[in-house]
Amino acid sequence: MRYGISGLAALLFCAPVAHATDLSGDYSGRCANDDRVQCAIEITDRAQVAIVVADRMDYAKKRCVISGRLQPAPEGLYGEIRKGIHLVLRQTPDSGLYMKGLPISACGLDLNGYYGVIGD
């Protein structure tokens, strides 16, 4: 009996636990097919998120930036990025992101959808 309980405790201690994925990096999206702008999601420090709408020709000319800290989860990030805006970022199998929950009124465009990782 004593070994059975300690054996069970050892198994529970070694049980797999889901860990939050580090999604830090830059991602690019379609910007509601508006050719005048470019859209990106920038993630730093595992959970600091900035959603950026910038001029198509000059990324330094930002038209809209929504930023905040989200909560890490095994499948991505979630939380309130701004008062009343509950955002979900889920990692896709190709290492991109799928964003949902951002209202059009936040930046004047529908920014929800797929964002691919920006690589070298």
Segment 64-93, tens digit of pLDDT: 999 999 999 999 999 999 999 999 999 999
Over residues 40-58, the mean pLDDT reads: 97
At residue 11, the pLDDT reads 47
For the chain, what percent of residues have pLDDT higher than 70?
Answer: 82
Task: Read off the tokens for 21.
Answer: 């994925």
Higher pLDDT, 52 or 11: 52
Cα–Cα dist 76/92, whole Å = 9
The predicted structure's pLDDT at residue 54? 97
CA nearest neighbour of 112 among 34, 50, 29: 29
Report pTM: 0.82
CA–CA distance, 40 with 98 (Å, rounded to integer)? 12
